[in-house]
A and B are shown apart, each in its own frame.
Chain A
Amino acid sequence: MKNKNKILNTALLGLSLVSLSTALVAAEQDPIKVGVMLPFSGVYGGLGEATRNGLKMALQEHAADLQGRTIEFIEMDTEAKPSRAPEIANSLLNKSHADFIIGPVHSGVAMGMIKVLKGKDTIMIIPNAGVNAATGPLCAPNIFRTSFSAWQPSYPMGKVALEKGFKKVVTLSWNYGFGQESLDAFEESFTSGGGEIVKKMLVPFPKTEFQSYLSEIGSIQPDAVFVFFAGGGAVKFVKDYDAMGLKGKIPLLGAGFLTEGTLEAQGDSAEGILTTLHYADPLKNEENQTFRRDYADKFGKPSDLYAVQGYDTGLMIASAVKALNGDISDQKALIHALENTKVKSPRGDFTFSKAHNPIQNIYLRRVENGENQVVKLAASALEDPARGCSM
């Protein structure tokens, strides 16, 4: 049933794109080529699909802003394999001569892409991968990010933890770049306010056998636990945390990914978890309400964070094309236009920092009835410190 819907939707999407392009066939200029480098298979497949949907939706909605130019999508499956990333990026750059290259989800893939695309004649926009370095030491004029740096969602949680009166906290994450950067960001704000990290645990990626770590947390009995997990690992961790009897006894805090796209699978176990993120599904602003309604209508399933990030990427492209009256041949002008975009995003308006990372609000959310309800604004217009970026 679900599948039928999916196929139907894909077909509908295809149809609407066709009609879109025929409507504009009169335009004389070449289409704007948008290379899409996302995982469409494997663990991150769902994220890739949502991002692509959001991206296409934005560009369709703002077709009028494109000054008569059409969009040609070139989609490549990264399989979330970093070792293939340079080759695919290279193909979009040199074979397809893409004007924009959108991707990826996975930080390792991002590193491989940046290596190839940095300083080249294309614009790379990262719609998810949070590796700090992308807008840190590796920042470049032609690299933008519409999502977040690993630092951003976790940093405000340190302050929240202190406000709640937690003094001793255990931190836990998968042992990879993004996880560590998240823990570091939390630690930075938490310890500077007088908190203490009693233990930092790193779980080998992608291991999901958490029993021994949970047992240790149970024996340490800290005031709270801060974790970074995403996807399948997040589902497993939250359920195990509950099953080991820790839920309700030791508050669980996390970077928002802990409860993004996973709530249904986590069920009741997720209730009460506090997370910080630059978005929350139930945000009350008008853009978000419209976006969620339209997305659900269009694709037959609810939108999520990744769809929003893809959507914002589309908005950003559309607004830059509009600002330049459709002529994006001058890279300097294009970069200038992109830098000065103010994105009217479902997450709330945001602008770009010098390092091309969003300056955005971070919300404190709490899981209630299977939804991430916004508790308050944890940080407003938070800018990544962009350490190591010399732009």
Chain B
Amino acid sequence: MDSTLFIVQLINGLQYGLLLFLIASGLTLVFGVMGILNLAHGSMFMVGAYLAWYFVQQTGSFAFSAVISAVIALLIGFIVERTLIRQLYRRNHLDQVLLTIGMIFVFNALQGLLWGNDPLGVDVPQALSASIPLAGIIEYPVYRIFVAVFCVVVAGVMYYVISKTRLGMLIRAGESNREMVECLGIDISRLYTIVFAIGVMLSAVAGVVAAPISSIVPGMGEHILITCFVVVVIGGMGSIKGAFIGALMVGLVDTFASVLVPELSSMMIYIFMAFILLLKPQGLFSS
């Protein structure tokens, strides 16, 4: 591989990794604070993409669609937490796995009912539809760069919120000690609702921004979910920082594996994960 191609692939890997971070961050946040393993997280990614498609069809404005989709996702998160997830705090991981598998079924069925099964696509918003020349004949789409920047901004905002604000303080406290937060006189169940809804929204927003660069198909959530698992397991369950590092690693490993060892490329991230876990059974940044 010559050096220009290497750099292009590096960009590809980082960009993919950043998108993975956006999806995985909600998963790891919800797990870290609430101890809930949400297998339906991928379904929310799918829901985000379908919502984006639907509203772009209706209104033609991507930005508007993004906002309204995020709000709807927040609502879904709120309702799901209040009605279902709430019952699970004192149960074991097995019940969480089963409940969220049931949710995957329901979301998939609803998607079929509401939007059918044809592959759909969302156009890249006009303002971001250009490409910039990169090397040789290769151009790099501006939208992908926008996605990468967006993900970095989200990461930055999350870092700020968690380390500097009151909500962040509660989140950190909730991670380490549920009783302590309760002693502080904070309504922990409200905190949980907020965190879960934010987690759902992050996943859906990832679906929205990924919509123009992916094909919107049934089952898109499950595929991405498993990749997100790899990310958060490598990073350490519950660690946002870990999810960030893990996502970049997975993005790079996946990209370079597909070029260098194509026969093994689909297995490579799992092999990589097994390797990390051999060294650190709890992931890189587990708390």
Contact = CB atoms under 8 A, between A and B. Distances in A.
Interface in A134-174: none
B118 A219 contact: no
A44 B117 contact: yes
A46 interface: yes
Contacts of B262: 201-202
Q: Chain A at the B interface: mostly helix, strand, loop or mixed?
A: helix
A212 B112 contact: no
Given A46-B118, A203-B258, A265-B120, A219 B217 contact: no
Contacts of B265: 204
Interface stretch (A68-76, A125-133, A234-242, A335-343): A234-242
Given A201-B262, A243-B131, A265-B119, A215 B8 contact: yes
A232 interface: yes
B218 A41 contact: yes
Interface residues of B, number: 50
Interface in B129-148: 131, 133, 135-141, 143-144
A60 B255 CA distance: 51
B220 A245 contact: no
A245 B118 CA distance: 27
A211, A221, A231 — most chain B CB neighbours (10 Å): A211
B195 interface: no
B54 to A, nearest CB: 10
B118 A243 contact: no
B266 A207 contact: yes
A213 B119 contact: no
B117 to A, nearest CB: 3
Nearest to A205: B266
Nearest to A229: B215
B139 A265 contact: no
A42 interface: yes
Interface of B: 2, 4-5, 8-9, 12-13, 15-16, 108-109, 112-114, 116-121, 123-124, 131, 133, 135-141, 143-144, 213-220, 223, 254-256, 258-259, 262, 265-266
16 contacts: A41-B117, A43-B119, A45-B112, A46-B117, A208-B215, A211-B12, A211-B16, A212-B255, A213-B258, A218-B136, A219-B2, A232-B215, A233-B215, A245-B140, A250-B137, A265-B118
Interface of A: 2-3, 6, 41-46, 49, 201-204, 206-209, 211-216, 218-219, 221, 231-236, 239-240, 243-246, 249-250, 261-262, 264-267
